[in-house]
Amino acid sequence: MTAETIIQSLASGLLMGLLYGLIAVGLALIFGLMDVVNFAHGEFLMIAMYATFFLFAFFAIDPLLAAPLVAAALFVFGALVYLCVVRFAVRAKANAGMVQIFSTFGLAIVMRGLAQFFFTPDYRSITHSWLGGKTFSIAGIYLPVPQLAGALVSIAAFTALYFFINRTDFGRALEATREDAGAVALVGIDKNRVFALGWGLGAALVGLAGAIMAMFFYVYPDVGASFALIAYVTVALGGFGSVFGAFAGGIVVGLVEAGTTLILPPSLKSVGIYAVYLLVVFIRPRGLFGSL
Amino acid sequence: MDTAFNQRRRRDLIVAACFAVIAALVPLFVKDVYVQNIMVLTLMYAALSQSWNILSGYCGQISLGHALYFGLGAYTTALLFTKFGVLPWFGMLGGGLISAVIAMVLGYPCFRLRGHYFVIATIVIAEIALLLFQNWDWAGAALGIDIPVRGDSWLKFQFTRSKLPYFYFALGLACVAWLVTWWLEDSKWGYWWRAVKDNPDAAESLGVVVFNSKMGAAAVSAFLTAVGGAFYAQFVSYIDPESVMGFQFSLLMALPAVLGGIGTLWGPVLGAVILIPLTELTRSFIGGSGRGVDLIVYGTLIVLISLARPEGLVGLFSPRRKEPAR
């Protein structure tokens, strides 16, 4: 193992990690807003990838251009999921936690079933996008261009989110609702509207991630499941309730995954991620940046 | 002292005995192998869900990694039998004990975690075990283990000609899991668990040893789940890591209890009786197309039940409830 291979794999790990952060941030946002873990998050990613694929296959729209369209579509979808399903789950008088887990889990199964029904279980891929298959080399390190683009989009999205939350009225309403949903009602903010917009925003962010992922990853009905688990770990590692914890969590997860593949066979690469999660929460039971 | 609570407990026991007798008689009239198969699975899930319910329902420590204990039970039995010729009965007991010990070893650091941090820890621990088993060549790696048929006998707990012995074992297991829960409900542990579930800090201040009660619940729950796993290995005579240790299985195990009524005595049974036949029937009648219609139906059902009956289907059967005074 030379220093070069280590730097090479850590660099790819960093890019992947930024993308993991982007996949996870929607989850973190929704959790931070209303303490709900969306167990259909992976399926949100899956439909975003399908949307990107079909925009490419039927209209020859490159994933890079499709990304904003997909994000907008996912925004609407996320808001609808809140209004049609989650709104009722949050109202449950008994077992609220389990009702949220299993209503979103049921939704995930339905979405997977619908994807199988309409799109068949076949693996699909976008064969020739603008960036697909290209690499960029700097100082002897090769970086795949789609992942590089993903990393840049991720940084841009987090920056935009930072300003959005801190500088806009809606962002402040979001923060206020997170702090005390009862009190915001008193000052005339419609809690349901804020939640619906929060779900829309969370879904739009995972839509962005899906559009990037579709450039270099196979699209199939179960694709979300493997990324969803990593997204949960990313959010928990960063700390529930902290949107920017997801950013840090994603980078840690990406680097650990790359580091693990240097030592263990590739089929065990996730073991490193899971082990680091356990290590972190055993030492710090609220994640890296979470609040109790 | 003959309180309403004691009366209810006695009635529960009588009702359960009646159900057990009726269930035991069913195979005399139902000879169809397909239906018998569904009944075995229903009873198995009732037992598994009941075991899960002890830790997650009564004690409130939501585990979505119980497939770990199920898989350990299945693998211990299958490995001991295929590699060393040890009878499945010993494997079952051994798997149960190993799982109980592992549950406590894992519980030691994990029970300090709360809420979602705990849930995710249970998921990733089971995932680590899954990945290790998938890469463990001696244990068949991802391909799993084929359990060789050595002739039908209770001694070897293998039956190729009839499903009935499996049916009666599964019925026995479901009854044991139910009885253990029934007994625990009115024991010191049962009260401690409910206190821990409702408010761990208050429980601690009133002298409940929170940590030990969680450990106890984990051990009992893991032991029973592993026995279920050992049974499953013998029943299907083929196991692989994904099918016995996958995350999906952890969720499937929890589902009957959640939909039936989490933290209740009858919830897991009711949930399994409704959910498992429905799953199997949709799978064989409309799942054959391979186009996911069964998933759509199944998922919709989960969403609807969990939204419409957050306290579980068991609420439909509870005796007239007084509306709380406002």
Evaluate whether residue A24 is within a structural domain. yes
**Amino acid at site A272:** G
Q: Nearest by CB to B303, from A106, A116, A120: name it.
A: A106
pLDDT tens per residue across span A183-221: 887 887 888 888 899 999 999 999 999 999 998 899 999
Q: A268 and B135 in contact by Cβ < 8 A?
A: yes
- The minimum CA-CA distance between A271 and chain B, rounded to whole Å, is 6
DSSP at B158? B
Using CA atoms, how far residue B180 sits from B35, B187, B190, B260, in Å, is 28, 10, 11, 18
Evaluate whether residue B243 is within a structural domain. yes
Q: Determine the Cα–Cα distance for residues B81 and B67; give it in Å rounded to an integer.
A: 21
**Amino acid at site B86:** V
Q: Determine the Cα–Cα distance for residues A31 and A38; give it in Å rounded to an integer.
A: 8
Say if residue A89 is exposed, middle or buried (CB neighbours under 10 Å; 0-12, 13-18, 19+). buried
The confidence band for A180, taking pLDDT boundaries of 50, 70 and 90, is: confident
Contact (Cβ atoms closer than 8 angstroms) between residue B263 and residue B197: yes
pLDDT at A277: 94
Report the pLDDT averaged over residues A58-74: 92
CATH number of the CATH domain containing B76 = 1.10.3470
Using CA atoms, how far residue B286 sits from B37, B249, B273, B278, B293, in Å, is 18, 22, 20, 11, 6
Evaluate whether residue B135 is within a structural domain. yes
Residues 57-76 of B with CB under 8 A from A: 62, 64
Q: A115 and B292 in contact by Cβ < 8 A?
A: yes
Q: Is B134 on the interface with A (CB under 8 A)?
A: yes
Q: A121 and B132 in contact by Cβ < 8 A?
A: no
Evaluate whether residue B323 is within a structural domain. no
Counted domains in chain A: 1
Assigned token pair, A167: 């500088």
Evaluate whether residue B325 is within a structural domain. no
pLDDT in tens, chain B (326 residues): 568 888 888 888 888 999 999 988 888 888 888 888 999 999 999 999 999 999 998 888 889 999 999 999 999 999 999 888 888 899 999 999 999 999 999 999 998 898 889 999 999 999 999 999 999 989 888 888 888 887 777 877 888 778 888 999 999 999 999 999 999 988 888 888 888 888 888 888 887 788 888 899 999 999 999 999 999 999 998 999 998 998 888 988 998 998 888 888 999 999 999 888 988 888 887 766 667 787 888 889 889 888 888 888 887 776 544 444 44
Q: A98 and B298 in contact by Cβ < 8 A?
A: no
% of chain A residues with pLDDT over 70: 99
Evaluate whether residue B1 is within a structural domain. no
How many beta-carbon pairs under 8 angstroms link A with B?
A: 137
Q: Is B274 on the interface with A (CB under 8 A)?
A: no
pLDDT at B102: 95
Using CA atoms, how far residue B211 sits from A26, B18, B96, in Å, is 34, 37, 21
Say if residue B250 is exposed, middle or buried (CB neighbours under 10 Å; 0-12, 13-18, 19+). buried
Evaluate whether residue A214 is within a structural domain. yes
Phi and psi (nearest 5°) for A284? -135, 90
Evaluate whether residue A290 is within a structural domain. no
* Parent domain of B216: 6-316
Using CA atoms, how far residue B207 sits from A57, B202, B211, B212, B216, in Å, is 65, 9, 11, 12, 16
Q: Determine the Cα–Cα distance for residues B108 and B232; give it in Å rounded to an integer.
A: 28
- The minimum CA-CA distance between A249 and chain B, rounded to whole Å, is 14
Which residues of B are less than 8 Å from A233 in CB distance? 120, 124
- The minimum CA-CA distance between B68 and chain A, rounded to whole Å, is 15
Return the ∠ at Cα B25 (arms to B22 and B27), rounded to 5°. 125
Q: A270 and B127 in contact by Cβ < 8 A?
A: yes
* Parent domain of A25: 3-120+142-283
- The minimum CA-CA distance between B323 and chain A, rounded to whole Å, is 14
CATH number of the CATH domain containing A184 = 1.10.3470
Counted domains in chain B: 1
Q: A103 and B134 in contact by Cβ < 8 A?
A: no
Q: Determine the Cα–Cα distance for residues A60 and A80; give it in Å rounded to an integer.
A: 28
Q: Is B302 on the interface with A (CB under 8 A)?
A: yes
The gap from C-alpha A152 to its chain's centroid, in whole angstroms, comes to 15
Q: What is the DSSP string of A177-230?
A: HHH-HHHHHHTT--HHHHHHHHHHHHHHHHHHHHHHHTTTS-B-TTHHHHHHHH
